[in-house]
Structure 1
């Protein structure tokens, strides 16, 4: 398949690019600069330099592909960016069998100990903008899938570093986000990339998919894994209000969500994580750094 990809130099998008190229797909990566073009071409993609939110520029690119993946995550105006991409995809792919995979996020579901992929999201303020965009896409005549990744880790990147590299108190203890008892639903970036490919290759729309490795783990447990490797002297609850003050109210509000998902729907598609748990990642990284 010939696939248009946004975000090909980003954390998730670069992993998706590698996965698609390795599987034999032809990838056209939308980039904004010559430097980014060189980066994606070095990984086996064809670069298209331009502005993805320019409908007139993007339309002929969409017309020339079999499917598209939107994995870009701009630093600002994300709602306007995603709206522009979805508008263009609906216009180009509506009424066809060409497939589109859109990136959502686990936070949009709100708190829950058994999150259902197909449940209507209950998004906190930080990501509430995602919901109407995704709903409009899923209601359109597009063969669309919205992947909501859990907390992505791997390649020494991702939000896990908010725990492993969190500030220490005067006694060398890791300051937990809140009390640290909240579960985060996790997924390794390499496993997530395979899920994107599976969704793209699947015959038909899949609706919403939660990208979860099925092992929700508390923030406290991750921090304690750092302690066990000698990376800190212990852990201590920071408290929700202090975390909001340190990290910002909306961001902390998302990080404080207790979210557990088993990944049953994605497993039914034949997807199985091949990487170990986030604890294995932390232990391995801390051990190698010792």
Structure 2
């Protein structure tokens, strides 16, 4: 199978591409810069130059391939509305190119805020008033099922961790270094989910290989790690005290880290035979505190 991957050189994409190649698939990777193109080519994948603004390029990549994995996203929290607009436009453009083909189209979404206060499952439909705004993109992708596409939404844990990560866990460590204390909000009993990057990559491969149209999958290896456990692990690693903090002390990540958003992946595991094997977040935090 030939798979078109947007965000091919990104944090998750750079694990998805070699995962696909190892299992006998061909990969066409979108690259927006010379450095990204070199990184994608070094894996043995074919390079397609473009970005989320070149909708015609996205459509050409989709038409040339048997499946699409959409991972590219502009993480501009200063202008998040524009990031969402670009994401939605990319999904609509790719969907138009795939219309009537029956090809798989997997996109990345998230588990945050789906069912605040209880464990979310793949069957839960998020409330637009409380869920993360990217759920709107997920809804747009799933609607493509009515247009002859095989859409799949992969809701990822907020912590997709591993060596080299500059995401959520790394931000929490940086905040602890700056403040001199590893913090949590309130009592720290609010729950956080996590998955190792390699396990997430495996899930995306399985998704395009065999997930049915309209499938919602959860990329969650650990469904309920408390914020306090995370803070204590960071504190141990940095030799810092642990204590309560206000959400604003964490910057842009504060509202998310303060939320209670556990999620399970039982349905996903049973449907695809996905079994995470990577280290857990607490163990993996050793890479972040060196």
* TM-score normalized with structure 2 length: 0.87
Structure 2: distance between partners of 1:94 and 1:54: 19
Secondary structure of 1:27's aligned partner = strand
What are structure 1's unaligned runs of at least 5 residues? none
Structure 1 residues 149, 215: CA separation in 2 closer, same or farther (over 3 Å shift)? Answer: same
Partner of 1:167: 176
| 8 Å CA contact retained: 1:143, 1:205 | yes
Runs of 4 or more, structure 1, over 6 Å off, are: none
Match of 1:96 in 2: 101
What is the deviation of 1:169?
8.3
**3-state SS in 1 of match to 2:3:** strand
Query: Could you tell me how far 1:72 is from its partner in structure 2?
Result: 0.8
Q: What are the superposed Cα offsets for residues 11-51 of structure 1, whole Å, 9 maximum, x if unpaired?
A: 11111112111112111111112221111000111111123
Contact kept? 1:110, 1:124, Cα under 8 Å: no
SS in 1 for 2:18: helix
Work out the CA distance in 2 between the residues paired with 1:181 and 1:204: 36
Q: Aligned partners of 1:119, 1:191: CA distance in 2, in Å?
A: 22
Q: Could you say what secondary structure the match of 2:175 adopts?
A: coil
Distance 1:284 1:40, change over 3 A: closer
Matched residue of 1:73: which SS? coil
Paired residues of 2:110 and 2:155 also in contact (CA < 8 A): yes
Please list, as runs of the form range in 1=range in 2, the aligned pairs for 1:265-280 lying within 5 A after superposition.
Answer: 265-268=267-270, 269-280=272-283
- Which residue of structure 1 lines up, in the alignment, with residue 79 of structure 2? none
* 1:69-128: CA deviation from partner (whole Å, max 9, x where unpaired): 001121342212211221122212222221010011122515232102121113577832
Is 2:16 aligned against 1:9?
no
2:260 to 248, 258, 261: 258
1:112 and 2:117 are equivalent in the alignment = yes
The question of 1:134 aligning with 2:138 is answered: yes
Displacement of 1:204 in angstroms is: 2.6
Distance 2:161 2:130 in 1: 23
Structure 1 residues 115, 215: closer, same or farther in 2, change over 3 A?
A: closer
2: CA distance, partners of 1:181 / 1:71:
31
Residues 174, 60 of structure 1: alpha-carbon distance in 2 compared, 3 angstrom cutoff: closer
Alignment coverage as a number of residue pairs: 279
Change (3 A) 1:169 1:34: closer
Distance 2:117 2:22 in 1: 36
Query: Taking structure 1 as reference, are residues 125 and 53 closer, same or farther at Cα in structure 2, changes over 3 Å only?
Result: farther
Structure 2 distance, partners of 1:97, 1:217, is 38
**Per-residue CA shift, 1:254-288, capped at 9, x if unaligned?**
221111122101211100111121112125765xx
Q: SS of the counterpart of 1:185?
A: strand
CA change 1:12–1:37 in 2 (3 A) is same
Distance 2:199 2:139 in 1: 26
Q: CA RMSD in A?
A: 2.3
Query: Does the Cα contact within 8 Å between 1:118 and 1:209 map onto a contact in 2?
Result: no
Q: Would the aligned equivalents of 1:8 and 1:40 in 2 still touch at CA under 8 Å?
A: yes
Q: Partner residue of 2:229?
A: 221
Distance 1:246 1:217 in 2: 18
1:33 partnered with 2:33: yes
